[in-house]
A and B are shown apart, each in its own frame.
Chain A
Amino acid sequence: MLSVSVSGYLAAIRWEWFRLQRRVGFWAVIAIFGLAVALSLVGAIASQSFLPTRFNLPAHAFPNVVFETLARLGPFFSVVLAGFVFGAEFGWGTWRTLSARGRGREQIVLPKMLLGGCVLVVVWATAWCASSLVGLVAGGSSATELGTALPGFPDGWGATAINFWSTLPAAAAYLTLGVLLCMAGRSTAFGVGVGIAIVIAESAGIPLLRALAALWWEVDLDGYLRWTLRGVSDGLSGKDELHSAVFLPALLAYMTVFCTVSLWIIRIRDLDSGNG
């Protein structure tokens, strides 16, 4: 299955990127995501100036502000990215083009997944660098300033980094979910549409379900709902009382299952010629 050399996979990733970087829509999504990150930083800067009690947020608080944005929007970004990298090939029929000349289906899917992962890493790294830079310029210089006392802010760069980067595996898990949905539905519209619906349902519906269950039936659903994809990703970033070491294997298990099923689907299915 993995008979192709590492150089073969690297070349495949290169040519995936060759095509992805020429898509205007891809850059539009990156721009929207970047705008959301920028706005959160602007908001943090503004909060220092316009609050009645003027204070300086510590520098490391700025990446933490961005972390909140990434945690909320990251799953949406990942699902849309999956649509760009995987789903669109169904509509164009280019799965056939890619699988010509005896290329195994895994030789197509794995480089695409790796490219998706690389894009996430680059986007996250850019957001980290940008927010850290803004923090160093606009934030307070001391960790003892008022910002550290505010609830929810980590007490140093190390804790901030853990928070920030914990959203990356969570985003990767949603990327694999998006891939699975695109593969199962053979379309971008299905994959992205259902993926976004799942993200919204998890974000909004699950807390509602939890509250209703507790209120009406006096049942505590926490134990169950914690193991949804969202629950696991929140748990990884320290929003749950369980240690993150429990959540990381769970997230990896989700990703492994999603990737394996996606690969299985594309291997057993006939490839049609798309719809133009």
Chain B
Amino acid sequence: MTDDSRAASGAVAVEVKGLTKTFGRVRAVDGIDLSIPAGGVFGVLGPNGSGKTTLLSMLAGFIGPSSGDLNLMGQSGVAGLQDARARMGALIERPIFWPYLSCRDNLKALQGIYGCSGGSEEIAGMLSMVGLDGDAAGRKFRNCSTGMKQRLGIAATLLGDPSLIILDEPTNGLDPAGIIEVRELIRSLGRSETPDRGGSRTVILASHLLNEVEQVCDQVGILDKGKLLYSGPVAEMGGRRAVFVRTTDDSQAADLLRKAGWDVRDDDEVGLEVTVGEGREWEVSRVLAEAGVYIAEMRAVGGTLEAVFLDVTAGQETGC
């Protein structure tokens, strides 16, 4: 199914109205209205604590909403949601498996528990797809690295070829090559169809990384403090106002750029992301060169999450 035909079909994978979840006095999700179209990859973007995981946990049925309506793949009510969730794979918060079982046995157990009919071939295929074949497949889950656990979590969500896949920060703990592989896998899943039903598959990807959402998603919903700030195409969500810079001394460069008044993020460990004004990228190189710090790499990237939030909230304030 093409993007155009998906859009034309008007099918909705997830629809929530007034969805709220409170933990004591904290409103983790605060009256969200959201419609996620069937097919493609939908990003849920927001900083830590914005309510992404709580929202996804409610979709998966791990926690119950305090109020609001939820409709999954056209079904609602207890029995309807249970039926819809049978066609949903979810990796939320962190991969959770039985620590004393091997990767292969964990998948085997889940396949049996979920009633998937793929047999050992499906398990071998899943393990191979996420790079856990060979010796890694026999390693006990408790002895796996963070990246291996994450890969196993992704494999488990794909068991039984679900129509709706929810992935909550799936690239956490992966090495750069693994991140690229997983992002490519998510993109291909969003473009694929569910063979046994002929319908389009929907992937919901939660992330706090703007560039990840930009690379992978077609549509995005931006959350902050439990509220939905924006929902729509990724291309329309905000200006590109940042540069990625890798220097001879990133630590000193970060200090210099902050002193010059720019917002600098250095949590990527392999460079800096600097929020700059329109057409002022050259000033970054000037400030650094004057201090004897030289640029090894510099390229435009999507704006920082904060910049997008500023855009979104500014748009709301001005009624745009």
Interface presence of B83 (CB below 8 A): yes
A159 CB to nearest B CB, Å:
43
Other A-B pairs beyond A18-B112, A102-B83, 15, CB < 8 Å:
A14-B112, A15-B113, A19-B98, A22-B100, A22-B101, A22-B105, A24-B100, A97-B97, A99-B62, A101-B85, A101-B89, A101-B160, A270-B57, A270-B64, A273-B92
Whether, in the assembled complex, A274 has its beta carbon less than 8 Å from a beta carbon of chain B, the answer is yes
In the complex, what's the smallest C-beta–C-beta distance from A29 to chain B, in angstroms? 15
Among candidates A24, A94, A96, A101, residue contacting B98 with C-beta atoms closer than 8 Å: A94
Contact with A along B66-105 (1 / 0, CB 8 A): 0000000000000101111110111011101111110001
Q: How far is the CA of A233 from the CA of B61 in the complex (A)?
A: 39
Q: Is the CB of B90 within 8 A of A100?
A: yes
**A273 CA to B97 CA, complexed, in Å:** 10
Asked whether, in the complex, the Cβ of A102 is within 8 Å of the Cβ of B115, the reply is no
Q: How far is the CA of A212 from the CA of B98 in the complex (A)?
A: 48
B298 at the interface (CB under 8 A from A): no
Contact present for A99 and B96 (CB under 8 Å): no
Contact B96 A274 (CB under 8 A): yes
Residue of A nearest to B140 (CB): A22
**Once the chains are docked, how many angstroms separate the CA of A104 from the CA of B97?**
19
Chain A, residue nearest B64 (CB):
A270
Are A19 and B101 CB-contacts (below 8 A) given A97-B110, A99-B61, A100-B60? yes
B180 within 8 A of A: no
Cα separation A104 to B78 with both chains bound (whole Å): 10
Question: Is A102 within 8 A of B86, CB to CB?
Answer: yes
Task: Tell me the bound Cα distance from A98 to B115 in angstroms.
Answer: 12
Q: How far is the CA of A24 from the CA of B84 in the complex (A)?
A: 37
Is there a chain B Cβ closer than 8 Å to A205's Cβ?
no
Q: Please name 30 pairs of A and B residues whose Cβ atoms are closer than 8 Å in the assembled complex, sorted by A.
A: A8-B115, A11-B115, A15-B109, A18-B105, A18-B108, A18-B109, A19-B98, A23-B100, A92-B99, A93-B94, A94-B96, A97-B97, A97-B98, A97-B156, A98-B113, A100-B62, A100-B85, A100-B89, A101-B86, A101-B89, A102-B82, A102-B83, A102-B85, A102-B86, A103-B113, A104-B82, A270-B57, A270-B63, A270-B64, A273-B93
Shortest CB distance B11–A (Å): 20
| A94 partner residues in chain B, CB cutoff 8 A | 96-98
The answer to whether B94 touches A273, judged by C-beta atoms less than 8 angstroms apart, is yes
Interface size classification for chain A: 20 to 34
**Chain B residues in the interface with A (C-beta under 8 A):** 57, 60-64, 79, 81-86, 88-90, 92-94, 96-101, 105, 108-110, 112-115, 156, 160, 162
Within 8 Å CB of B61, what residues of A? 99-100, 102
Q: Does A12 contact B (CB under 8 A)?
A: yes
Interface string of A256-276 (1 = CB under 8 A from B): 000000000000101101100
Residue of chain A at shortest CB distance from B157: A100
Interface flags for A18-38 (1: CB within 8 Å of B; 0: not) read 110011100000000000000
Among A213-270, those with CB < 8 Å from B are 268, 270
Residue of A nearest to B53 (CB): A273
Nearest-neighbour CB distance to chain B for A12, whole angstroms, equals 7
Which residue of the partner chain A has the closest CB to B159?
Answer: A101
Chain A, Cβ-Cβ closest to B111: A15
